[in-house]
Amino acid sequence: MPATPQRRRTVRRLTIGAAVLAAAGLAATALPAGADTGHAARTGRTVDVQLLSFNDFHGNLEPPQGSSGTVEEIQPDGSKKSVPAGGAEYLAQSLRTARKGHPYSVTAAAGDLVGASPLLSGLFHDEPTVEAMNKLGLDVTSVGNHEFDEGRKELTRLQKGGCHPKDGCYEDGKKFRGAGFPYLTANVTDDKTGKPLLKPYTVWKHKGVKIGFIGVTLEGTPDIVNAEGIKGLKFHDEVETINKYAKVLNRQGVKSVVALIHEGGLPASTSYNYNCDSPGPGDGISGPITEIAKHVTSRVDALVTGHTHQAYACTIPDPSGKPRTVTSAASYGKLYTDTTLTYDRRTHDIVRTAVKAPGAANHVVDRSQPKAADMTSLIARWNKLAAPVAGGPVGHISADIAGRGANAPESPLGDVISDAQLEGTKADGKGGAQLALMNPGGVRSDLAFKASGSEGDGVVTYGEAFTVQPFTNMMNVVDLTGAQLLTALQQQVSGPNQASPKILQVSKGLTYTLDMTKSGADRIVKDSVKLNGEPLDPAKTYRVAMNEFLAGGGDGFPAFKEGKNKYVGPSDLDAFTAYLTAHSSADKPLTPPKADRITVVK
């Protein structure tokens, strides 16, 4: 999901000690593509290939906290149950268990494996996550928008290896080896050469079976990442790019093709086991992926998608009318998808009839199963390096404060963060802000009351705060007229955000009504917008605080680029931790806000 990190600022502030920041690297390499489990190959005309997939891991090596670490499951009686899920120890174990009995098995991902990561991975520029992906046997992934959070050079380093250019190596005698799997960037090209930044496709081969993988990220990536990091790159149309490379693979004799697309959809239910093919194929899903799926060439046999952090295994007809699977496994390693691709040895293609698509289903990465020992060891090793920074307490809470898992336009944690940003910039000489706005995609987790370590229940550690606000965006305060501010609020639900609204989190004192029964900009009830009880004056100038990503027009808010008299304040993370420290104690913990600043009409 969107937002723009500049973690180097955080790392510069952190003191880990010379011994910790010595030479580093990865101790493991990727499992061979399609590693044989020892079973005899089938000798008939067709063979079933197991495609295991996931997406949007975002460096969640440890199980995510609060509602961010659960999936919703529909029970036989129609009721819904929250199931704890996710974490690298359980994801690795789930994938290894799933592979048993499948001599033909390939594992793929659809982007955002890194970026917006908890401190355990983010502090080390996501090297721990790349190491984990190598160990659990990932064969291939597309890039997501978050793979560009630290720019094209850092993405190239994650692929090829080498220690960080500024922060160096993290472990004595170890050099970072890079990803043992290809990152595919088919629709991301260099302006000068016209060639893809990294490989556009790869071909997985095992005992005569060949399956091509084409990887793309969403065309709108430039709108949701830091412009500086992607200078000199172009992001092309997903459908046109996939169709182009499907032809290339076809000419090479590769007839079986899977597209890995970092763009997604919105199922009608948040339950992972919801049937999105009811009443008909693909009827229960909407969003950008539906149009992409309808136009990607029928040469492509399955679409593995991501970006929206949703769970679905749908069937959407291809341009020829044949059913084709479109899947997504939520986020943070909470689910994996198991798709059966029936490969015809004579035609070299996946068997897809006019009535049947490859079978696909999402499975919970359940935390009741045994942990993968190598992942436990990896997490412990990196936690030891992070401990001097991560464990310090910064605040206290009385109960879970929902953020990422709130499933509502306004979240309690969004209110806390926007209040923190206002408090950190409202003083004269520190910006003079009158209100603050926070992009919802920048709220990466909940704050959980239950202790994640030995700190005790209700204690918020620096590492937990970092997990919520991992980008280290600098706060900006700018002048906006009331008219410009109203336009920005309307951009939450119009233009590029019309199909999938991005509702800004607002600081205390700003109130308005969001009428979801209307469409586009009309969803913002103009006369309802008030600041401290006073109607918004179109001609008046207001001092508005926001992170630098939003101030640059990110997330589809070009109105913010019109801001003047910019003041640069503390980082969003510093503002957040300072607020928690100032407004909570063991005796008087912070209570979750009511989240009642935006009145929603449904």
SS (H, E, C) 257-314: EEEEEECCCEECCCECCCCCCCCCCCCCEECHHHHHHHHCCCCCCEEEECCCCCEEEE
Of 213-217, 491-495, 523-527, 549-553, the least confident? 549-553
Instruction: Give the DSSP letter of residue 366.
Output: B
CA distance 27 to 111: 23
275 phi-psi bin (left φ>0, alpha ψ -120 to 50, beta other): beta
Read off the tokens for 484: 């410009």
Mean pLDDT in residue range 218-239:
92
What confidence score (pLDDT) does residue 228 get? 85
Q: Is the pLDDT of residue 6 over 70?
A: no
Angle 496-500-503 from CA coordinates, rounded to 5°: 95
How far does CA 57 lie from the centroid of its chain? 7
What confidence score (pLDDT) does residue 8 get? 38
CA neighbor of 562 nearest in space, from 491, 506, 489, 479:
479
Q: Which residue has the higher pLDDT, 427 or 11?
A: 427
Residue 406's pLDDT band (cuts 50, 70, 90): confident
Query: What share of the chain has pLDDT > 70, as a percent?
Result: 93
CA distance 335 to 41: 28
- How many CB atoms are located within 10 Å of the residue 259 CB? 34
Q: Which residue has the higher pLDDT, 157 or 223?
A: 157
- How many CB atoms are located within 10 Å of the residue 588 CB? 10
Mean pLDDT score of the chain, rounded to an integer? Answer: 91
Residue-wise pLDDT for 513-526, tens only, equals 999 999 999 999 99
Residue-wise pLDDT for 262-291, tens only, equals 999 999 999 999 999 999 999 999 999 999
Q: Is the pLDDT of residue 460 over 50?
A: yes
Instruction: Give the DSSP letter of residue 205.
Output: E
Segment (H or E) for 446: none
How far does CA 253 lie from the centroid of its chain? 34
Residue-wise pLDDT for 26-77, tens only, equals 333 333 343 333 333 445 899 999 999 999 999 999 999 888 899 999 999 9
CA distance 496 to 500: 8
Mean pLDDT in residue range 355-373:
94
Structural domains of the chain, ranges and CATH numbers in brackets = 46-374 (3.60.21.10), 393-600 (3.90.780.10)
Question: Which neighbouring-strand residues pair with 342?
Answer: 48
Q: Is the pLDDT of residue 21 over 70?
A: no
Please say whether the beta carbons of 370 and 127 come within 8 A.
no
Instruction: Give the DSSP letter of residue 591.
Output: P
Mean pLDDT in residue range 576-583:
98
Q: Residue 167 contacts by C-beta under 8 Å, 6 or more apart in sequence?
A: 8, 11, 21, 125
CA neighbor of 503 nearest in space, from 407, 400, 401, 416:
407
| Residue position matching structure tokens 């179109």 | 538
CA distance 19 to 173: 11
Q: Is the pLDDT of residue 85 over 60?
A: yes
What confidence score (pLDDT) does residue 43 get? 59
What confidence score (pLDDT) does residue 68 get? 86
Residue-wise pLDDT for 159-202, tens only, equals 999 999 999 999 988 999 999 999 999 999 999 999 999 999 99
The amino acid that residue 198 corresponds to is: L
What confidence score (pLDDT) does residue 118 get? 93
CA distance 318 to 320: 5
CA dist 207 to 42, 324, 351, Å?
Answer: 10, 25, 18
- Measured distance between the N- and C-terminal CA atoms of the chain, rounded to whole angstroms: 25
CA neighbor of 51 nearest in space, from 112, 125, 138, 164:
138
Q: Residue 223 contacts by C-beta under 8 Å, 6 or more apart in sequence?
A: 2, 496, 553, 554, 555, 556
Query: Can you give the pTM of this predicted structure?
Result: 0.84
Read off the tokens for 349: 């293609």
CA distance 392 to 445: 19
Q: Is the pLDDT of residue 226 over 90?
A: no
How far does CA 479 lie from the centroid of its chain? 31
Read off the tokens for 584: 């909570």
Read off the tokens for 551: 């101030």
Instruction: Give the DSSP letter of residue 561.
Output: G
Residue 354's pLDDT band (cuts 50, 70, 90): confident
CA distance 143 to 261: 8
Residue-wise pLDDT for 367-380, tens only, equals 999 999 999 999 99
Question: Which neighbouring-strand residues pair with 513?
Answer: 599
